[in-house]
Chains A and B, each alone.
Chain A
Amino acid sequence: MTGRRALRGALGAAGFLLLMEALGRAGVIDTYTLPLVSSILAGAAGLLADPGFLAGVGGTLSSCAAGLLLACALAVPSGLVMGTLPAVDRAVRPLVEFLRPIPSVALLPLAMFLFTSGEQGKIALVVYTCCWPLLINTMYGMRDVDPLAKETLRSFGFGSLDVVRRVSLPSAAPFIATGVRIAASVALIVAVSVELVAGGDGIGTFVSDAAAGNRRDLMIAATLWTGVIGLLVNTLLAATERRAFRWHHTRSSQETP
């Protein structure tokens, strides 16, 4: 069943590539505007040995990881506090709802002023972006905690900190993991955006340099690799979630991609 799906998917992807190649060779698509698939794939293979591109990938991914970690350190405890203390939640919620819809890239010019190094500005924007899905998912997970388990622990004389550590946190963990996965995909988008506009070490800079050199094959090849990286990260996180939280069967119904 799944084998047949995978086969069909592979056929679809192969068919798409062959079609694009054929259209390019037949002259339907101008190969200057959109290079042949074969030359893009050759360029993509060449990028694997290109130190400039590899450094760019390293730069982008390290800023994403640093930003994501910082955001976790900020947002998860805040979400726990807001989820445990309804008074805090009621008070702070309007601020969250006001700040959350601000598109992170709107803060880019400000970040370029505030941080002398582009790297720091990039990380700061990634942190800002990642905080919201993490915070919201943590709070949402806290709402889902079984009150019976909490009361049981309390009646056995555990303090509220212990209740958070032993019941609320494990029970909210699947939601936090979903938040991490969503945050990781937006982190990549924001990091690349900052690089495109402000430069610095990264895939975005590599692509805009390739654009300046009119190397369309390299631009598209680098973009393809970024898509592959995004897909890998997402698949990896989703698989970890599935393995780690197999007991959490309600997850799939409210998952937002």
Chain B
Amino acid sequence: MTRPAGRPRRPISRVNRPVRPDRTGAARRVASRAAGLWIVPVALLAWEAATRVAAAVYFPPPSLIVVHLHELWFSGPAGRAFLTEDAVDHLLPSLARVVVAWVAACVAAVALGVLLGRSRLLGDVTEPLIHFFRSVPPPLLIPIFMTMTGVGTPLQITAIVFGVVWPVLLNSLDGARHVDRRYLDTCQAFGLSRTIRLTRVILPAAAPKIFAGLRLSIGLALIMMIISEYIGSTEGVGYRMLVAQGQVDIPSMWTAIVILGLLGLLFNAAFLHVERRALAWHSGAHDTP
């Protein structure tokens, strides 16, 4: 039933596979990957047909959503990168807040997590508390934060930071704690400085765990961004969506859903790209679900 311990999961990882220099091979690979996506246009067509036949009020056909998406968000002047006023007022603040808050929270959480993980005492003392804070569903804290920060950007930043910090902190702590004893002994034997030990040994050893936490945090950051805009904001994609909902403007609501979905897709793809490069040496990295 169990896998023999020595058998590798996948013989050669995609990154390590020798790249063939000839152009036609690359083109063929791109073409075959694109052909593998045939289900996407088929699904879109089926969706279009189904919504047209059923004429469902809450499900406009995708073609209408695309037209509306262009009109509402991306039909602005060329000088503003085709962004409409709606996009400048709602999309850009959302984006700026989620990126700034996510990056700040991750940097702080990784630094603190590695620090706590390297000290047995500090790690033991703080871990249960971190576990507890990680178990609190972060959206519940938005009303509490709102009494402290009021409505607006500080609320969104606080909410996203709180949502992101705990899983990243916990994973960084865990990763830094379980560095192979032999690596550290080797460092000592070679008399390496603390900086080199941290950047060359501890951080790479903890990286798979840290990345697992970061991957989890992307989804949480988006959830917190959206919820905090629903509850306490006068701008942002989430707020715009709630306005559309209030006006029973179904196509506009759908454009916001599409934008948020694309944001999720984009962030995930960008993250996976970075993760693959950073963890190319780590054999298990590609297979974690």
B129 adjacent to A13 (CB under 8 Å) = yes
B147 adjacent to A189 (CB under 8 Å) = no
With a 10 A CB-CB cut-off, give which of B43, B124, B167 has the most chain A CB atoms.
B124
CB of B144 within 8 A of chain A?
yes
CB of A51 within 8 A of chain B?
no
Q: How far is the CB of B204 from chain A (nearest CB, A)?
A: 17
A228 to B253 alpha-carbon distance, docked (Å): 36
Residue of A nearest to B243 (CB): A109
CB of A48 within 8 A of chain B?
no
CB of A33 within 8 A of chain B?
yes
Using A8-B121, A9-B124, A101-B261 as known contacts, say yes or no to A248 and B2 having CB atoms under 8 A apart: yes
B231 adjacent to A12 (CB under 8 Å) = no
A231 to B166 alpha-carbon distance, docked (Å): 13
B260 adjacent to A102 (CB under 8 Å) = yes
CB of B81 within 8 A of chain A?
no
Q: How far is the CB of A210 from chain B (nearest CB, A)?
A: 8
A10 to B131 alpha-carbon distance, docked (Å): 12
Contacts of A220 in B (CB 8 A): 144
A133 to B141 alpha-carbon distance, docked (Å): 25
A8 adjacent to B148 (CB under 8 Å) = no
The residues in A between 231 and 253 inclusive whose CB is less than 8 angstroms from any CB of B are 231, 234, 247-250, 253
Q: How far is the CB of B37 from chain A (nearest CB, A)?
A: 5
CB of A63 within 8 A of chain B?
no
CB of B227 within 8 A of chain A?
yes
A188 adjacent to B137 (CB under 8 Å) = yes
CB of A156 within 8 A of chain B?
no
Q: How far is the CB of B266 from chain A (nearest CB, A)?
A: 8
Using A8-B125, A9-B128, A110-B253 as known contacts, say yes or no to A216 and B137 having CB atoms under 8 A apart: no
The residues in A between 99 and 156 inclusive whose CB is less than 8 angstroms from any CB of B are 101-110, 112-114, 133, 136-137, 139-140, 144, 146, 149
Residue of A nearest to B284 (CB): A254
* Interface of chain A, main secondary structure: helix
Number of A-B contacts (CB under 8 A): 191
- Residue among B135, B137, B212, B219 making CB contact with A103, cutoff 8 Å: B219
CB of A69 within 8 A of chain B?
no
B139 adjacent to A192 (CB under 8 Å) = yes
Contacts of B171 in A (CB 8 A): 257
A4 to B120 alpha-carbon distance, docked (Å): 11
B144 adjacent to A146 (CB under 8 Å) = no
A186 to B212 alpha-carbon distance, docked (Å): 16
With a 10 A CB-CB cut-off, give which of B37, B137, B141, B250 has the most chain A CB atoms.
B137
B260 adjacent to A103 (CB under 8 Å) = yes
CB of B140 within 8 A of chain A?
yes
B32-59 to A contact mask, C-beta < 8 Å, 1/0: 0000111110010000000000000010
Using A95-B40, A105-B226, A109-B253 as known contacts, say yes or no to A12 and B144 having CB atoms under 8 A apart: no
- Residue among B36, B126, B167, B250 making CB contact with A12, cutoff 8 Å: B126
B146 adjacent to A211 (CB under 8 Å) = yes
The residues in B between 133 and 151 inclusive whose CB is less than 8 angstroms from any CB of A are 133, 135-144, 146-148
The residues in B between 210 and 229 inclusive whose CB is less than 8 angstroms from any CB of A are 212-213, 215-216, 219-220, 222-223, 226-227
- Residue among A112, A214, A226 making CB contact with B136, cutoff 8 Å: A226
A209 to B128 alpha-carbon distance, docked (Å): 30
- Residue among A15, A34, A106, A112 making CB contact with B226, cutoff 8 Å: A106
Contacts of A250 in B (CB 8 A): 2-3, 5
A160 to B213 alpha-carbon distance, docked (Å): 38
A146 to B226 alpha-carbon distance, docked (Å): 42
The residues in A between 1 and 50 inclusive whose CB is less than 8 angstroms from any CB of B are 4-5, 8-13, 15-16, 33-34
CB of B190 within 8 A of chain A?
no
Using A103-B264, A189-B223 as known contacts, say yes or no to A12 and B124 having CB atoms under 8 A apart: yes
Give 7 nearest A-B pairs by CB, closest first: A101-B264, A12-B125, A227-B136, A230-B135, A9-B128, A8-B124, A106-B260
Residues of B within 8 A of A (CB): 1-3, 5, 36-40, 43, 58, 121, 124-129, 131-133, 135-144, 146-148, 167, 170-171, 212-213, 215-216, 219-220, 222-223, 226-227, 230-231, 238, 241-242, 244-245, 250, 253-254, 256-257, 260-261, 264-265, 267-268, 284, 287-289
Q: A101-B265, A109-B244, A113-B250 are in contact. List 5 more A-B contacts (CB 8 A).
A: A9-B124, A33-B147, A110-B254, A223-B136, A228-B132
Q: Would you give 26 A-B contacts (Cβ < 8 Å), ordered by A?
A: A5-B124, A13-B129, A15-B125, A91-B39, A92-B39, A94-B36, A94-B37, A94-B40, A101-B267, A114-B58, A137-B289, A171-B1, A175-B289, A185-B135, A192-B140, A197-B230, A203-B140, A204-B139, A219-B143, A219-B144, A230-B136, A247-B1, A249-B2, A256-B212, A257-B167, A257-B213
